[in-house]
Amino acid sequence: MARQRLEIVAGLSLRNLKPRVWDGTSPFHLPALKEVMVSWADLNRMPSIRRKAMREGLHKALDIPPSVSIYLDNGAFNFAMSGGEVSRKDYEEFVLRAKPDWYVIPQDYIPAPRMTDKEQLDCLERTMEVNLAYSHDGYVPIIHISRRLDSYIERLKASEILNRKSVVALGGIVPNLLRMPKAMAYDEVLDMIRRTRAEFSDKRIHVFGIGGTATLHIAALMGIDSVDSSGWRNRAARGIVQLQGCGDRLVAQLGKWRGRKPSDEEHKQLSECQCPSCLEFGIEGLAESGIEGFSKRASHNLWTLLEESRLIDSHISNGTYACWYRDHLNNSIYRPLVDSVVKFDDALLS
Ligand SMILES: [Zn+2]
């Protein structure tokens, strides 16, 4: 099992780039952040930014320093929801001119758990067609957690040029972890991630859309190299903050959103938070409404993920993970999953 540090790629929204977590002059600057992700679906909706990025390059257009890498996601999930197709030519041209640091193939076809075997096979055929058509240059191939995973692995390995890629992206985990209809059992999902890791031991593996503090443990333990998430922003917009080692808590009452409120102990934990936002604005800042409150919660959430990843990494490297997580990771519905991963990996228990 690989033991590199899990990188957190922060999903951005082009409609609102605040809080500017990559900006050294912002009170919300997070120096540990090294990667952000923008979505082609977003760029498609915002032609002025898209054109600017094609003229000036993505970094300059978004005013993101070169030290922070920009990943481009194809937005396939959004296009699938709206029944649309990605214009491959437009995407290709954008990649060429806007120069993202990392970019996936223009479109993939996500197999929903409720699909029949034949429908899932169809998704595989269509995704593999795009993987092969874009096996050149820096395009990152995509495979999906599904009942067809083995065929994906086999087909990717069968192509000499695809097999030479240094990175592969793994999608389709989220609907299974969210227990959508006919979702696979958790153990099966873990087993598939494990198989992908073992089969592609020479490649970096990126997993789409993992954003809770507990799911980070699973990704890190399984040797995943990077994950992306917009969860830090989505949660902040609903008045929710993430806490180290446990689930989400509601700290700002913003209309219809509901959630579990912090206990006294969790309140104390938040009041001692060392993130730049809490250090400057205190716990009261997290409860504010409007863009100010949103920015404070969002940067707090992202800092929490980065810090959690740092802690996981240091405990795995020191051989103290198995002792540490038992106390650290409480109140999470994913705890039994982490237990099962730890139990499977004897090295962690020795
Ligand atoms: Zn904080």
Q: Is 202 exposed, middle or buried (0-12, 13-18, 19+ CB in 10 A)?
A: exposed
- For the stretch 303-345, pLDDT in tens is 999 999 999 999 999 999 999 999 998 767 788 888 888 888 7
pLDDT at position 1 is: 44
In the predicted structure, residue 257 carries a pLDDT above the cut 80: no
- Mean pLDDT calculated for residue range 264-271: 94
- Mean pLDDT calculated for residue range 73-80: 85
Helix (H, G, I), strand (E, B) or coil at 32: coil
What integer best gives the mean pLDDT of the chain? Answer: 91
- For the stretch 217-240, pLDDT in tens is 999 999 999 999 999 999 999 999
> In this structure, is the dihedral angle defined by the CA atoms of residues 248, 250, 254 and 258, taken in order, positive or negative?
positive
Do residues 286 and 251 make contact, with C-beta atoms less than 8 angstroms apart? yes
Interatomic CA distance for residues 96 and 5, integer angstroms: 30
Q: How far is the CA of 262 from the centre of ligand 1 (A)?
A: 14
pTM: 0.94
Residue length, the chain?
350
In the predicted structure, residue 256 carries a pLDDT above the cut 90: no
- For the stretch 269-292, pLDDT in tens is 999 999 999 999 999 999 999 999
The 8-class DSSP code of residue 225 comes to -
- Mean pLDDT calculated for residue range 121-136: 95
Nearest to 270, CA basis, from 252, 258, 254: 252
Do residues 112 and 80 make contact, with C-beta atoms less than 8 angstroms apart? no
Interatomic CA distance for residues 347 and 137, integer angstroms: 37
Q: Which token pair is 239? A: 């008045």
Do residues 254 and 262 make contact, with C-beta atoms less than 8 angstroms apart? no
Q: How far is the CA of 240 from the centre of ligand 1 (A)?
A: 12
Q: Which token pair is 92? A: 């290709």
Give CA separation, 205 vs 122, 143, 224, in Å: 24, 10, 6
Q: How far is the CA of 236 from the centre of ligand 1 (A)?
A: 12
Q: Which token pair is 122? A: 């169809």
Q: Which residues of 297-325 are buried (b: 16+ CB within 10 A; e: fewer)?
A: bbbbbbbbbbbbbebbbebbeeeebbebb
In 5-140, at which residue ranges do the beta strands (DSSP E only) sit? 7-11, 35-39, 69-73, 102-104, 139-140
- What percentage of the chain's residues is helix, strand, coil (to nearest 5)? 50, 10, 40
Q: How far is the CA of 23 from the centre of ligand 1 (A)?
A: 18
pLDDT above 90: percentage of residues in the chain: 73
Confidence of residue 199 (pLDDT cuts 50, 70, 90): very high
Q: Which residues of 160-169 are buried (b: 16+ CB within 10 A; e: fewer)?
A: eebeebebbb
Q: How far is the CA of 117 from the centre of ligand 1 (A)?
A: 45
Q: How far is the CA of 172 from the centre of ligand 1 (A)?
A: 31
- Mean pLDDT calculated for residue range 87-110: 96
Contacts of 129 (CB under 8 A, 6+ apart): none
Give CA separation, 291 vs 50, 164, 242, 261, 298, in Å: 24, 45, 18, 21, 10
pLDDT at position 335 is: 85
pLDDT at position 315 is: 95
Dihedral (C-alpha) 80, 59, 142, 182: value to the nearest 10 degrees? -50
Q: How far is the CA of 286 from the centre of ligand 1 (A)?
A: 8
Interatomic CA distance for residues 323 and 332, integer angstroms: 17
Count of H-run helices and E-run strands, the chain: 18, 11
Q: How far is the CA of 18 from the centre of ligand 1 (A)?
A: 16
How close are the terminal C-alpha atoms of the chain, in Å?
15
Confidence of residue 267 (pLDDT cuts 50, 70, 90): very high
Q: How far is the CA of 273 from the centre of ligand 1 (A)?
A: 5
